[in-house]
Structure 1
Amino acid sequence: MGRAEERRARQRGGRRAAPQGSSRTAAKSAGAGKGRIRRLFTWKKILGTLFGLCLLGMGAFIVLYMMISVPKGNADAKLQSNVYEYSDGSPLARTGTRNREIVDLSEVPKGVQRTFVAAENKSFYKDSGVDFRGTARGLINTLSGKGKQGGSTITQQYVKNFYLSQDQTVTRKLKELVISLKVDRQKTKSQILAGYINTSYYGRGAYGIQAAAQAYYRVDAKDLSVRQGAYLAALLQAPNQYDWAIATDTGKKLVKDRWNYVLDNMVEEHWLDSGKREGMTFPTPKPPRAAPGMEGQTGYLVDAANAALMKQLVAQGAASDLGTAEAMVKAGGWTLTLNIDKKKQDQLEAAVKAKLTSKLNAKKRPVDGDVQAGAASVDPKTGKVLALYGGQNYVKHYLNNATRRDYQPASTFKPLIFAAALDEGASTQDGKAINANTIYDGTSRRPVLDNGDKVGFAPPNEDNRSYGKVTVQRAMNASINSVFAQMGVDVGMDDVLKVAGKLGMDTKGLEAVPAQTLGSMGASPLEMAGIYATLDNHGKKVTPAVVRSAEHKDRQVKFPDPIGDRVITREAADTVTSVLTGVVDDGTAQTSVAQAADRRGQQVAGKTGTSDSNKSAWFTGYTPNLVTSVGMFGESAKNQSQVTLKGATGLIPGSGRINGGGYPAQIWAAYTFGAMGKVTKFDLETTQGAAIEPTVTPTLTQSPSDSPSSSPTTKKPTTTPPSTSTTPASPSTSPTTKGPSNTPTGTTTTPTDGLPDDPVNPNDRNGLRNQNDPTSQ
């Protein structure tokens, strides 16, 4: 074959080989494509991309870190309750929208603190406040819709509780991460742990460890054991599921397992001795109990305690005014221990119900719906307010009848006039010293004189009764207005109000006029109890104290001593006490108090009072160890205006006046004789009054309207019950008179307290018995 043929053959072979050449070309093209991918995704580029993404993420995080600041704690996390306790520490009430009482970490035992760390975050004391893996897992689960997942540190949980919300969102989790890092740098681990255990929810409505300790074990956080702390720490994982009182068998098993887990972790961390751990048994929580509400007397006691705390905050400079103090109290976090004796409180409530409120029927008698009662009981030796009655039910009548000052104390003011006369060494118009045996003119509507001149005041006695010449003792027993109106002017009304103020009455703004002798100012049962307690305490000032102590983690409050300095002489105070025993044994309180079946010979001093138009009725009385003031007030159920008490409980309308010697004295006797303990006698330094055998015959010191037929006797007043005639028997310390008759000489437009016409029924002024009147039974 020639060269030309060979060349042609090769050419033909080349054309036949063309498909084979195309495959090789395609293969080469495919290889080139793969090479381009390999060249595009080299390990260097991948690492570079990842590094870039990391830088981008770090940059974004730095921006977030710079942009997100630590916010103020949310208001809900700061809400606390106030806790109120009786004098024995038993619970009275808890107020506030959150059952929380924040405590310092120092008040929680170290072992109990560590139970929470062992349960939630063993690395707490070493970490930076964030669990990045746990947070990342939480973010992924949130994005994938798998819900809430664990893994957060104690710092993160604290941030969520205190600074953020419980929302499960990516934004909230990112904020939680940033804020947790910042909080860990700004606060100590102790501060973070304290915030965590104080803001967490433990079930049973309890927020914070103090409320949880009370809810589950009825102890304060400072008294928790490690066993109990481990249970509370275990609860935080599932409060409702792990509450022993309502847990299923499965729930009980799970919480026991977690309790063991907590204690085992403590051993592992060398926070608990293994030997002690082996001996620990599960501390079964106590069953839940309802928190006391504000019903009944509770609200009145809480209000009185708050008022006392607010006043003291202002007094010690912690608050600029009462408005600021109120805001401080309502912010919560207080534990107030009252002086209220739970047993005496119950006894006072029972006495009011038995003697008064059980007899009221507003559907049958509309006037019964206008009856309000208030009372306060004080220990004269310590000043403690032992019992307080504010009304039938706080949620129905929020105004505290024990502390309200809008009703006249009426004749319960008369002992203050006599106390001023004795303490100031006052004399009558003709220069004779005023004492228990001084004779005054008891004529109704007798013009009051000042240095021989009429002062334009001539008050009527109750039922316009005239008594003629009477001793001060007799005038106090029968509550004779004309005598004490004249005595007030003899002493000087400025001095009367000065002494009243020293004894404890708020006299600011009162005019020093003779009309004040009728007790026309306002006063409260608590105020009157304090005044009489000062008399009982031999002239040393007693300021009734409702609150014994008030504790708060952020401030200290120190209450002043309720017992102060001497404000009147002991002789003056003891003489008033001596004279007031006559009111009980021979006067307006005789039937209800002196003749009470359970008196047992107890010596009692006291004074009745019935105000203008019978809008209020009072009895304030005392033994050596207990002073109690009881008031009844006519308050319209429609508009809260002051109205008459006449006809209440079925007494005859128009003549059925409610007097201090009636229901108020009956309530006083039922309460006092049941609460007083052993029978006691007054220790008096005086030679005057019904409690002391008179040693001299009283002399005439004033020209009365008629001359007495004989000198007063010196016989000690009798305690024999008076006759049941409509004319009361005069006590033996009163002089016999030929003068004005004891029968009324006219009608009165200003009925004030005096001796009842019917001593058997002190509420029926005309001796008319009503079948429906419980006091006549």
Structure 2
Amino acid sequence: MGRAEERRARQRGGRRGAPKGRSSGAAGRTGIRRFFTWKKLIGTFLGLCLLGMGAFIVLYMVIDIPEGNADAERQGNVYKYSDGSLMARKGYNREIVDLARVPKDVQRTFVAAENKTFYQDSGVDIRGTARGVLNTLSGKGAQGGSTITQQYVKNYYLTQDRTISRKLKEMVISLKLDREKSKDYILAGYINTSFYGRGAYGIQAAAQAYYRVDAEDLTVEQGAYLAALLQAPNQYDWAIASDTGKRLAKERWNYVLDNMVEQKWLDRSARQGMEFPVPKEPRPAPGMEGQTGYVVEAANNALKRQLVEQGTAEDLNQAEALVDAGGWTVTLTIDKKKQTELEKAVRTRLTSKLDPEKREVDADVQAGAVSVDPKTGGVVAMYGGVDYVKHYTNNATRDDYQPASTFKPLILAAAVDQDAETQDGVPITANTLYDGTSERPVMDGDREVGFAPPNEDDVDYGDITVQEAMNKSVNSVFAQMGIDVGMNEVVKVAGELGMETEGMEAVPAQTLGSMGASPLEMAGVYATLDNHGRKVTPALVKSVEHKDRTVEFPDPIGEQVISREAADTVTSVLTGVVDDGTARASVRENPLRNGQQVAGKTGTSDNNKSAWFTGFTPELVTSVGLFGEDDKEPHPQVPMYRAGGVDHRVNGGGFPAEIWAAYTFGVMDEVTEFDLDTKQGAAVKPTASPSDSQSPSQTPSEEPTSEEPTTEAPPETSSAPPTSEPPSQTPTSEPPPVTSSPPPTFGIPEDPGDPEDDEEQ
């Protein structure tokens, strides 16, 4: 062996004998390190960059600027009655204006808001686009960063889909568009195609929607608000924004103006003197006059909520854009005949009696009503106000007024459903005796809970049955019953029946209906009672058609939420309110009734700011509410005393009950009877006074009278003329005698059975 071979052998042996963990050169690179070196990583990265650049060059060569797509030529929506006949068409609200008609300073507010480098860039924000692609890949959704050019391309040439391919197309088209078109052309397209909320597309429609001016007359302050809106039209709309939304809108407005100062487009001293330009209240588009606008608005809201619920839209802003984009055919549950009759009933029984020139308070009376089929859950008629173009707020869906005593049946429903007992251990039924003394402290065992509500006119009823307490709406009885049942349980059952209970405190004052509620909400609650305890969620939309989308609505009829016995017992008790209580004169004696069985409850809130009648037959549930709203901005709640020429207050047994009766009996196809399953029989008979020997802590072993329960309507429900006389049978503690003056021709029945005012103390 030569010396060279010996040396090589020693070297090989030396390597084999080297300590473990020490290596040198390529021979030490084992496993995964053999494949990942710095040179390879850098080479791979450069290769990918070159590949990406090559791919982008190919895309740039093959993608041309397309024609404006279908989304840029959106059509209106069609709304139909339940029978398929046309109710309304709502067109696309956009008017293109030349950029020259928009003041230069207003143009710059949009640049300051969205893309300060607009006049210098090439139409694309590389970092923003990359971030958008990464967000899309990671499932986080889009997060800003697009230039004005990119946003215009998305609005006019592409779609709102959040995909990698669309983002790449957007970038390519934006680069080409920036080379081929002027900045003014792109800015004009952007401000004319963007969505500003309130159904307004484009700056001209937005200027009219928010400030009642043309685009050419906008101020810098107003322009800054419209530019700020583009970030979140629904959230920043001053008319509907929450306190947080208003704060964010102002912050965005300040951001826009501060950027203008930074870009030297606005003098700093002029900026300091600027005040936030509060927008005008929303005004509906032409063609939505009368009740049509209210119904269409409510249907659109239901559609938007469902788009979000089923995942088609991420939020209400996006859903609103989809609905306003057009192309929808919406078939409603509204019955044309019933809708006409409801409008007629309000006109003949209320609005024709109001004379603001004679009585200022008459200008403050607003009416809202909703009618529901309890078997299908469909809203068959809706009255939202005097006219959608005159009073924008929908009184049928607003929930800012107290439902007052119309809440009392829910307390009884909770009591029967939970087999609740009085604090003396007596089961709570229609015949259970309570102490009806006005301002009697409510007790929880031996402890006063600090609540002692007065009865209307401070009447002391003494020992009184639950049936008669419901008939006469005795506050002291139901306040105590709420504690007996447990206010947490009352609130729970109220929510199950259909009331919005989020944030509702379980306190005794709620027994007087001190929360807010809408006629739509109360109609659903009573429809659930009418439907024997099976949940009814009122639905306004019957079906929806769209060429690109499918929308499925849930079944309005849900599961059993309270027992049939509980629901039917409440229904049975509520027949007494009509036959022997606060709704007697307006409903029981109505000549159109023709023997129809009716259940219902009146309600009049604290200081007469609202008055209600929610009633039902086996086939139809209708809630009517009257609301005192100052006709001058900002429209605070106000009392309705002596409105319509009544002697004193507007009670639930007056205008609301008369509207209800005129409508319900006017659309009846046949006389029907309740099919009730209660321990007391098919219906509770008219009230009788408990005997002197009975105690409010004891449950009578028999009915208060010897008469047998009957499913027939009382014989006095024929065509006898209305009367204001009190029931022939009275409670043990007599209320004050009625006045000798004749009852008013229209308004409040003057009998002792209308204890509805000043319920929330």
Asked whether the two chains share a fold, i.e. TM above 0.5, the reply is yes
Correspondence for 1:464:
458
Q: Tell me the amino acid that sits aligned with residue 488 of structure 2.
A: D
TM-superposition CA deviations, 1:241-276 (whole Å, max 9, x none): xxxxxxxxxxxxxxxxxxxxxxxxxxxxxxxxxxxx
CA distance in 1, matches of 2:431, 2:336: 43
CA distance in 2, matches of 1:302, 1:755: 47
Three-state SS of the structure 2 residue aligned to 1:382 is coil
Among candidates 659, 666, 677, match of residue 685 of structure 1: 677
TM-superposition CA deviations, 1:184-215 (whole Å, max 9, x none): xxxxxxxxxxxxxxxxxxxxxxxxxxxxxxxx
CA distance in 1, matches of 2:534, 2:692: 33
CA distance 1:394–1:319, change in 2 (3 Å) = same
Among candidates 628, 636, 639, match of residue 644 of structure 1: 639
CA distance 1:459–1:719, change in 2 (3 Å) = farther
| Offset of residue 97 of structure 1 | 2.6
CA distance 1:304–1:724, change in 2 (3 Å) = closer
CA distance in 1, matches of 2:545, 2:537: 21
TM-superposition CA deviations, 1:507-534 (whole Å, max 9, x none): 0000000000000000011110110000
Among candidates 292, 299, 315, match of residue 298 of structure 1: 292
5 Å matches for 1:244-255? none
| Offset of residue 646 of structure 1 | 0.6
TM-superposition CA deviations, 1:417-476 (whole Å, max 9, x none): 000000011000111100000000111111100012110000011111111111000001
Correspondence for 1:594:
588
Does 2:507 correspond to 1:513? yes
CA distance in 1, matches of 2:287, 2:622: 26
- Which is greater in Rg? 1
Does 2:624 correspond to 1:630? yes
CA distance in 1, matches of 2:698, 2:750: 27
Does 2:524 correspond to 1:526? no
Correspondence for 1:55:
none
| Offset of residue 305 of structure 1 | 0.1
Correspondence for 1:270:
none
Correspondence for 2:408:
414
**Gap runs ≥5 in structure 1:** 1-64, 100-161, 165-178, 180-290, 745-753, 769-777
Three-state SS of the structure 1 residue aligned to 2:492 is helix
Three-state SS of the structure 2 residue aligned to 1:373 is strand
| Offset of residue 602 of structure 1 | 0.3
CA distance 1:666–1:571, change in 2 (3 Å) = same
TM-superposition CA deviations, 1:482-520 (whole Å, max 9, x none): 000000000000000100000000000000000000000
Is the contact between residue 493 and residue 513 of structure 1 (CA under 8 Å) also seen in structure 2?
A: yes
Three-state SS of the structure 2 residue aligned to 1:556 is coil
5 Å matches for 1:532-547? 532-547=526-541
Does 2:391 correspond to 1:397? yes
Three-state SS of the structure 2 residue aligned to 1:555 is coil
Q: Tell me the amino acid that sits aligned with residue 333 of structure 1.
A: G
TM-superposition CA deviations, 1:363-417 (whole Å, max 9, x none): 1211110010000000000001000000110000010000000000000000000
5 Å matches for 1:28-427? 69-71=64-66, 73=68, 77-97=72-92, 293-427=287-421
Three-state SS of the structure 2 residue aligned to 1:474 is helix
5 Å matches for 1:547-558? 547-558=541-552
CA distance 1:496–1:72, change in 2 (3 Å) = farther
CA distance 1:451–1:698, change in 2 (3 Å) = same
Among candidates 667, 672, 677, match of residue 675 of structure 1: 667
Is the contact between residue 646 and residue 744 of structure 2 (CA under 8 Å) also seen in structure 1?
A: no
CA distance in 2, matches of 1:440, 1:489: 13
Among candidates 729, 732, 735, match of residue 742 of structure 1: 735
Three-state SS of the structure 2 residue aligned to 1:393 is coil
Is the contact between residue 653 and residue 749 of structure 2 (CA under 8 Å) also seen in structure 1?
A: no
Identity of aligned residues (%): 66
CA distance in 2, matches of 1:657, 1:756: 18
Q: Tell me the amino acid that sits aligned with residue 460 of structure 1.
A: P
Correspondence for 2:483:
489
Correspondence for 2:280:
none
CA distance 1:701–1:398, change in 2 (3 Å) = farther
Correspondence for 1:660:
652
**Gap runs ≥5 in structure 2:** 1-59, 95-155, 159-172, 174-284, 753-761
Is the contact between residue 757 and residue 764 of structure 1 (CA under 8 Å) also seen in structure 2?
A: no
CA distance 1:457–1:695, change in 2 (3 Å) = closer
CA distance in 1, matches of 2:660, 2:356: 24
Is the contact between residue 85 and residue 338 of structure 1 (CA under 8 Å) also seen in structure 2?
A: yes
| Offset of residue 74 of structure 1 | 6.1
CA distance in 2, matches of 1:396, 1:88: 28
CA distance 1:622–1:765, change in 2 (3 Å) = closer
Is the contact between residue 372 and residue 620 of structure 2 (CA under 8 Å) also seen in structure 1?
A: yes
| Offset of residue 727 of structure 1 | 7.7
CA distance in 2, matches of 1:761, 1:424: 43
CA distance in 2, matches of 1:703, 1:644: 39
CA distance 1:561–1:359, change in 2 (3 Å) = same
CA distance in 1, matches of 2:662, 2:511: 30
Correspondence for 1:728:
726
| Offset of residue 361 of structure 1 | 1.1
Q: Tell me the amino acid that sits aligned with residue 669 of structure 2.
A: G
CA distance in 2, matches of 1:312, 1:641: 32
CA distance in 1, matches of 2:496, 2:437: 31
CA distance in 1, matches of 2:367, 2:610: 10
| Offset of residue 567 of structure 1 | 0.4
| Offset of residue 638 of structure 1 | 0.7
Q: Tell me the amino acid that sits aligned with residue 406 of structure 1.
A: D
CA distance in 1, matches of 2:609, 2:93: 42
- TM-score, normalization by structure 2: 0.61
CA distance in 2, matches of 1:643, 1:618: 16
Three-state SS of the structure 1 residue aligned to 2:726 is coil
Three-state SS of the structure 1 residue aligned to 2:625 is strand
Q: Tell me the amino acid that sits aligned with residue 306 of structure 1.
A: N
Among candidates 606, 613, 636, match of residue 612 of structure 1: 606
| Offset of residue 94 of structure 1 | 1.2
CA distance 1:693–1:711, change in 2 (3 Å) = closer
Among candidates 489, 495, 501, match of residue 495 of structure 2: 501
- TM-score, normalization by structure 1: 0.60
Q: Tell me the amino acid that sits aligned with residue 469 of structure 1.
A: D
| Offset of residue 334 of structure 1 | 1.0
| Offset of residue 668 of structure 1 | 0.4
CA distance 1:755–1:662, change in 2 (3 Å) = farther
Q: Tell me the amino acid that sits aligned with residue 615 of structure 1.
A: K
Q: Tell me the amino acid that sits aligned with residue 677 of structure 2.
A: E
CA distance in 2, matches of 1:566, 1:356: 37
Cα RMSD between the aligned structures?
Answer: 3.6
CA distance in 1, matches of 2:451, 2:605: 17
CA distance in 2, matches of 1:686, 1:602: 20
CA distance 1:313–1:548, change in 2 (3 Å) = same
Q: Tell me the amino acid that sits aligned with residue 330 of structure 1.
A: D
Is the contact between residue 758 and residue 765 of structure 1 (CA under 8 Å) also seen in structure 2?
A: no
CA distance in 1, matches of 2:663, 2:751: 27
Is the contact between residue 756 and residue 765 of structure 1 (CA under 8 Å) also seen in structure 2?
A: no
